[in-house]
Amino acid sequence: CFQIKYIKTLNQVIAAMETQLSNGPTCNNTSNGPSTISNNCSSPVESGSMEDSKTNLIVNYLPQNMTQEELKSLFGSIGEIESCKLVRDKITGQSLGYGFVNYVDPKDAEKAINTLNGLRLQTKTIKVSYARPSSASIRDANLYVSGLPKTMTQKELEQLFSQYGRIITSRILVDQVTGVSRGVGFIRFDRRIEAEEAIKGLNGQKPPGATEPITVKFANNPSQKTSQALLSQLYQSPNRRYPGPLAQQAQRFRLDNLLNMAYGVKSRFSPMAIDGVTSLAGINIPGHAGTGWCIFVYNLAPDADESILWQMFGPFGAVTNVKVIRDFNTNKCKGFGFVTMTNYDEAAMAIASLNGYRLGDRVLQVSFKTNKTHKA
């Protein structure tokens, strides 16, 4: 089932960052994401050549639902940003989980590495490091390695591959329950040439002490998989009654713009920034966040049932409750219903996407529930 995991609340980012700023970065590369032995969070600042940028950072392992504006807000707390970009899939608009932050002042870039590298955001531990100069030679340098001895450590894996070049990241996948190696992993080299040489030298070879040969090949391109998954999703349910990913993407950019405005008029990391969104959007301030965000859905057909509300809103995130309001005598829908969603941003996304949506021969009106009573 296609799911949009949209942004968490800004407050979560703020809370995580404030914790981080008071405690300092947590060095934890084992819980999430690959790392290199030589370039982990204890020494993220590498000495680069004179030509390397001292202001441009690459940020990896971002939560899937983090927006560019959140990225900008988070890193803007360090210093003035010249530019900021969250990299998205060209076709689907889905975040690829990394982005770039270019500061005006090199000192701020260094401070961002020291402050934000290793920051935990949701289930991720972000990595902040200097971006290498963009070049075709550093693309497609990621290798997939299988058939590894279960006893091989990440360090041993790096030692095996380091003879072919500079390793950017390495990872051995482990069973989530037992933590034992699954015998497969990834090696990202600095340059594609190095990866090619490693394939020539190590594919089909037995590592020292191993009884079985390993397989070394280029890793699948992640954006391809994402596109395929989303496209198959499109074809899988041609009669879907809610918008597909592309329609949602368009709405998403609208919401991004609203967030951008909100962030601009409110002091950074103000807990009230979210309310800025609602007022700027001309949306009534929604009801209590404690029990979730209540959404009013109007112009449902008489035969509408709860399942249609689950189908429409579920793809946008956590839905805790749906209700179709029915006439006591006829048991037919009175034309409206309610949906409760846990997370503000997912609710806002659902509203932005579903308001005005045509369901059958009716055009829905979807908004946050107001304090007014709704008399049809």
Partner DNA sequence: TATTATT
- Enumerate binding residues for DNA (CB under 7 A): 32-34, 36, 39, 56, 58, 60-61, 64, 83, 85, 87, 96-98, 100, 102, 127, 129, 131-134, 138-139, 141-142, 144, 146, 168-169, 171, 173, 182-184, 186, 188, 217, 219-223, 225-226
Shortest distance, CB of residue 331 to DNA, whole angstroms? Answer: 44
Nearer to DNA, 22 or 176 (CB): 176
E strands, the chain, are 56-60, 81-88, 95-103, 120-121, 124-125, 127-130, 142-146, 167-174, 181-189, 215-218, 293-298, 319-326, 333-341, 358-359, 362-363, 365-368
- Nearer to DNA by Cβ, of 187 and 258: the residue is 187
What is the nearest approach in angstroms of DNA to the Cβ of residue 268?
21
The residue (of 61 and 368) whose beta carbon lies closer to DNA is: 61
DSSP state for residue 57 in the 8-state scheme: E
Going from the C-alpha of 300 to that of each of 225, 251, 328, 358, the distances in angstroms are 36, 22, 17, 10
Q: Shortest Cβ distance from residue 227 to DNA (Å)?
A: 10
Tell the smallest beta-carbon distance from residue 224 to DNA (Å). 9
Which of 144, 150, 147 has its CA nearest to residue 170? Answer: 144
| Alpha-carbon dihedral angle through residues 129, 135, 137, 142, given to the nearest 10 degrees | 40
Identity of the residue numbered 306: E
Measured distance CA(9)–CA(3) in Å, rounded: 17
- For the bound state, the minimum distance from the C-beta of residue 245 to DNA, rounded and expressed in Å, comes to 14
Residue number, 99 or 292, with CB nearest to DNA: 99
Q: How far apart are CB 175 and DNA at their closest, in Å? A: 10
348 CB burial (10 A radius; 0-12, 13-18, 19+): buried
Cβ proximity to DNA: between 64 and 114 the closer is 64
CB of 180 to DNA, least distance (A): 13
d(CA 82, CA 338): 43
State the minimum distance, in angstroms, from the CB of residue 265 to DNA: 26
CB-nearer residue toward DNA: 136 or 376:
136
CB of 126 to DNA, least distance (A): 10
DSSP 287: S
- Cβ-based nearer residue to DNA, 222 or 356: 222
Cβ closest to DNA, residue 42 vs residue 220:
220
- Concatenated DSSP letters of 71-85: HHHHHHTTS-EEEEE
Please name which of 353, 356, 360, 99 lies closest in space to residue 245, comparing C-alpha atoms: 353
Q: Please check whether residue 140 is in contact with residue 192, taking contact to mean a CB–CB distance below 8 angstroms.
A: yes
Nearer to DNA, 72 or 132 (CB): 132
* DSSP conformation letters of 133-202: PP-GGGSS-EEEEES--TT--HHHHHHHHGGGS-EEEEEEEE-TTT--EEEEEEEEESSHHHHHHHHHHH
